[in-house]
Amino acid sequence: MNENASGRHAAATFGGGCFWCTEAVLQRIEGVLSVTSGYAGGATPDPTYEEVCNGDTGHAEVVQVAFDPGIMTYEELLDIFWQAHDPTTLNQQGADTGTQYRSIILYADEGQKAAAEASRKKAQARFRDPILTEIKMLDGFWRAEDYHQNYYNTNTSAGYCRAVIAPKLKKLRLE
C-alpha cells in the first residue's frame, strides 16, 4: 500500500466484476492508501458472500478505496476503473456472471455523481458498445469476509489469480 503523502484522504466505491480483480488493480496505483472488498448497491443489510452470490440481496461485489487526493484525483480513479474492466457487459465480467458482477459506481455526494456521469460520457468513446455501468448513491457498504481481503497478494498461485487477475495486471502494466 502506498503512503499518505498529504495526510488527507478521500473515498470512492466501485464494482467492476469480481472484487478480487478490482482490488488487485487499485492496490497498485500510486495515491491509493487502502482497498477494502465488500458489498453494496443492494437492499440486504450486512450480507454474506453466499447471500450475495445467491443473487437475492441486490448487492454487487465492490471495493471501497481510500486515496490521497493530493496524489490521485477521483477523476483519475474513474479513468482506471474504465480501463480495468468491460463496462459494456451486463452482469458479467469474463466467466463471472450474475448481478453481483455488474459494473457500478456508488457515489458519496453530488460532486462524485457529476464526476462519474462526466467520466462515463468521456469513456464511451473508448468502447464500441454502450457502457452499461450503473451510477447510484452509496447507501451502505458492508466489508466482505476476511478471506476476500487482499486476495490476490496472498493467493498469487491460485488458479483464478493466475488465469484472470495476473493477465489483467500485466495488460494494465501494473506487474
Q: Which entry of 18, 21, 53, 161 is annotated as an active-site residue? A: 18
Q: Are 116 and 105 in contact (CB under 8 A)?
A: yes
Interatomic CA distance for residues 61 and 173, integer angstroms: 24
Is residue 53 annotated as a catalytic residue, yes or no?
Answer: no
pLDDT value of position 8: 82
pLDDT value of position 7: 66
pTM attached to this predicted model: 0.94
Q: Are 62 and 14 in contact (CB under 8 A)?
A: yes
For residue 165, what is the DSSP state?
I
Query: Domains, the chain, ranges and CATH?
Result: 10-171 (3.30.1060.10)
C-alpha cell at position 17? 466484476
What are the per-10-residue average pLDDT scores of the chain (175 residues)?
63 97 97 98 96 95 97 97 97 94 98 98 97 97 98 96 95 93
SS3 state at 159: helix
